[in-house]
């Protein structure tokens, strides 16, 4: 089965707006918006969309 979300649990990514490096805690698909949201370990009360993040190389 092909993975549809861009990031997985424990992936390290960069928040585009702040440049902060964070770790993905969990993901959730929002059917009405047809997008994935993510919570991060560093700030578990906030959620982010895929377009707000980029891969950390």
End-to-end C-alpha distance for the chain, whole angstroms: 25
Q: Has residue 5 been placed in a domain? A: no
Q: Has residue 16 been placed in a domain? A: yes
Give the mean pLDDT of the chain.
Answer: 94
Q: How far apart are CA 24 and CA 44, in angstroms?
A: 10
Q: Tens of pLDDT along 24-41?
A: 999 999 999 999 999 999
Rg (CA), the chain: 11
C-alpha 22: how far from chain center: 9
- Domain extent for 49: 12-55
Q: Has residue 33 been placed in a domain? A: yes
Q: Looking at the 3D structure of the chain, how many domains does it have?
A: 1
Q: Has residue 47 been placed in a domain? A: yes
Q: Has residue 2 been placed in a domain? A: no
Which residues is 48 bridged to in the sheet? 38
Q: Has residue 37 been placed in a domain? A: yes
pLDDT at 57: 83
Q: Has residue 26 been placed in a domain? A: yes
Do the beta carbons of residue 50 and residue 5 sit within 8 Å?
Answer: yes
């Amino acid at each position: 089965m092909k993975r549809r979300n861009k990031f997985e649990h424990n992936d390290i990514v960069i928040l585009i707006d702040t440049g902060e490096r964070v770790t993905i805690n969990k993901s959730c698909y929002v059917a009405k918006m047809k997008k994935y949201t993510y919570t991060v370990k560093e700030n578990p009360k906030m959620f982010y969309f895929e377009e707000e993040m980029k891969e950390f190389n």
